[in-house]
Chain A
Amino acid sequence: MAVSLQLSKIAKTFVKDNVPFHAVKELDLDVKGGELVTFLGPSGCGKTTTLRMVAGFETPTSGRILIDGHDVTDVMVNKRHIGFVFQNYALFPHMTVGDNVAYGLRMRNESAKDIKTKVAQGLEMVGLSQVEKRYPNQLSGGEQQRVALARVLVMRPKVLLMDEPLSNLDAKLRIHMRTEIRRIQKQLDITCLYVTHDQKEALTMADRIMVMNKGQVEQIGTPFQIYTAPESTFVADFIGQANILEGTLDDLDGLTSRISTGGSNLSARLLEGKSYRKGEKVSLVLRPETLSLSQGGGLLGGTVIQVVFSGDRMEYTLRLGDGQSLLAMENFYPGIKVWQEGDSVDLSFDPSLVVALP
């Protein structure tokens, strides 16, 4: 049965040359058993530090860490039953693949027979049964990654921690490994924290995403929530592509609104729990792929100032009536209307997909 994980107000402050650096500021997180949560954010946002605190490589300056309800904050790393997959794999270069995978089991003094079976199972799970006798430097990057995964999985860890495990792989392999890791994690029903700075990786793999910035949580939610209802312009900008337009909140009623922007008036979704005031400035988040171009009709009007063809779609940069610019994308297929620079166009979109942030 997969175990739960709680981080309660954990914080980490590093002091260098007498200058404190607050890497993580009082962070709370509840992870349910079997859930995969990705930590997403730019480099230096504290995501890896948080992960290393859960592993026990770093001691929190304050706060508690609970695994399965037990406080493990002061438990040594080698007693926490956590599996950690490193960005650079950290395979032992002087041991064969088999010995690498067997290492933890040997530390646990398991019988040679058990070790043999478990190593074989572990390697089979990641599809590498044939390389047991080889050394890490004789494997490709993707294979090394899978050995690192097998090495911690044979330990049946309570929690699996992964620190940007795919960032050293090429793009194609990365996509393949995403589904592979997700499949194994679900199959073994392991609670998992997964650090990445790749938003595609976070969106495709996670049950929930925790977006971090400057040591703090920006938003926690399902990929769908994070994408469609970003709670800050930082999240909107970091996940996917977003147009962020300035506007003025002319009127509001509950969660519906009337906003003037780009020389037009339109309505947009307001988020629960945020405070809006009539007459104040708001930021509107419009995803480029939700916009479609036409002549006549539409909610916003503008002029095409740049056209880029990127194979599967057309990307148009528009200048709106009030001078703000905006990116729109349309799927490309032969026969579709292609706009030219200088064309006057109207933009139509579903207002419920537009979020206004105070």
Chain B
Amino acid sequence: MGGRGSSVKIAIWAALGIFVVYPLGRLLSSVIIGDSGPSLEPFVSALSQGGTWEALFNSMTLATAVATSGTALGFLFAFGSSRMALPGAVKKSMTAITVLPLVSPPFTTAIALTLTLGPGGTVLKLLSLPDIDIYGFTGTLLAELLTYFPLAYLTLRGVMEGSSNDLEEGAMDLGATRWQAFKTVTLPLSIPGLANSFLVLFGLSLADFASPMVMGGHRFPVLTTEAYLRITGMYDLEGGAALALILVAPALAVYFLQKHWTKRSFVTVTGRNRGPAAFIMGPVGRWSVLLPIGIVSAFILYLYGIIFAGSFVEAWGLDHSLTLENYRYAFTSGMRSIIDTLLLASVSTVIGTLAALAVAFSVVDGRSPWTEFTSLLNSVLPGTVVGIAYVSAFNSGPLVLTGTMTVMVALCVFRYGAPAVRLMMASMAQIDRSIEEAAMDLGASRARAFRDVVIPLIMPSILGGARAIFAVSMTAVSALIFLVSVRWNLLTVRILECITELMFSQAAALSVVLIVLVFAFSALLDRLARRLSH
């Protein structure tokens, strides 16, 4: 490796310097350096402006509420799938349904909620209820809860399936009742998972831009939306940057706490779950878990159905006659944004995947904690922060890239490449060294062995990484919204514009197009990965 390895490392560091360290440095300096040298004046003045404290309070309240309710709901789902004897088809559809919000554009749930519970919404009509006020805290909470609880479910399911049912059976064998077994064994063993999931959801809610933008509006400002409005509405870059900086501290705290927690997890030491649950529950316990799961699942499905149905009617809630007009709109007026989005996502995917492979290969042995931290930084920080940092850095100064494809691609690569790196590194670590050695023993050079053996074996994770980068690049909004320009327009931004102009049916049609594109590409890569996995 020698020289080649170190030149890869230098390239990685240069790229991280330009697209991670430099923008964040510019962001910081724009806030703490005033007209006359270093001062905290701009920061303090931004904080003292009217809306700041309200936004901070709203952000914290919302994040706490989302993290608590999302973790509880996720636990219910995880408990159902790991500890209850449910038919395989039920478990599969639980997973499928919960994956929907994870792979959809960020405001899908928000739009669907507007169509169902908003003014003239279908659920209200169905139950002949008067209009309720969905906009504000309640609506934002509901939208974020449905969007993010699947992550809590996946986290907790992993933790709970890692510990064996034997433990609960053991507790009951020793005389515990079902409830005692749950309280003394299941719950304590889940605490690291619960804490982890709380942190993840707290961080995601804090960083979320789309849901509060659609559901909160002016009535419920949070830090991310407030920062966006100050920059785009009032052209106050320093003010927006100061607000963004407030978000950095909690985001980093969540990141380090989460690292700390996952290291301390003690759950995985016991044997594997034998599969179909043995945790015997009474009918009351059974239904108190299954009923909420059923209702939530049905509601999610209903929401997605509404988006689909809404895209085929004239005007939702007013005129339900069928029409293809919305799709005509999507493919004419929206065509530019569809093409631009596809282009951005494809270029980002190719570059991001190759870069991730290079990083994974060069750090898989002898990684430095600083490289790792720096490479993760953009993905740990809220999109709003990164977006504003990019604006601060590339609007002026030595590198002017604003409005170019380059800067948008760079943002996608450095913000969304990290999970791909982790995926590839994990699968490289799984390859037994002897397989590579066998190839070399049979006469292959190191490079040849890497090409013939390592690449094909990690191909599924390369494709998985590509899929992840593509999906987020297609649907991301919080950071990219600061970088769109006259030259490049994006689907997500377009959808947001439709919503603010109350063109919900058109927004639904564009969302359907986006979802279909993401799913089609994911399915394609999935099939490829499955054909290649052994």
Contact = CB atoms under 8 A, between A and B. Distances in A.
Contacts of A104: 442-443
B309 interface: no
A311 B68 CA distance: 65
A93 B534 contact: yes
Contacts of A137: 534
Interface in B434-484: 434-435, 437-445, 448, 452-453, 456-457
A104 B438 CA distance: 9
A77 B457 contact: no
Contact of A90 (B434, B444, B445, B452): B434
A84 B438 contact: yes
B532 interface: yes
Contact of A83 (B439, B440, B441, B448): B441
A90 B437 contact: yes
B133 interface: no
B432 interface: yes
A155 interface: yes
B456 A94 contact: yes
A103 interface: yes
Given A78-B445, A93-B534, A94-B534, A57 B439 contact: no
Contacts of B434: 86-88, 90
Contacts of B440: 76-78
A99 B432 CA distance: 19
Contact of B442 (A76, A88, A151): A151
Contacts of A155: 442-443
A15 B438 CA distance: 25
Contacts of B452: 92, 103
B442 A152 contact: yes
Interface in B305-364: none
A135 interface: yes
Interface string A103-116: 11001100000000
B534 A135 contact: yes
The size class of the interface chain B forms with chain A is 10 to 19
B442 A86 contact: no
B441 A78 contact: yes
A82 interface: yes
Interface string B279-313: 00000000000000000000000000000000000
A84 B452 CA distance: 18
Nearest to A109: B443
A357 interface: no
A50 to B, nearest CB: 16
B433 to A, nearest CB: 9
A242 interface: no
B443 A108 contact: yes
Interface string A302-324: 00000000000000000000000
B60 to A, nearest CB: 44
B442 A107 contact: yes
Given A107-B448, A135-B534, A137-B534, A90 B442 contact: no
Nearest to A80: B441
B441 A103 contact: no
A78 to B, nearest CB: 5
List of 5 A-B pairs having minimum Cβ-Cβ separation, nearest first: A104-B442, A107-B443, A90-B438, A90-B434, A93-B534
Interface of B: 432, 434-435, 437-445, 448, 452-453, 456-457, 532, 534
13 contacts: A55-B441, A57-B437, A78-B440, A83-B441, A84-B437, A86-B438, A87-B434, A90-B435, A92-B439, A94-B534, A103-B442, A107-B442, A107-B443
Given A78-B441, A94-B534, A103-B442, 4 more contacts: A86-B434, A87-B434, A88-B434, A152-B442
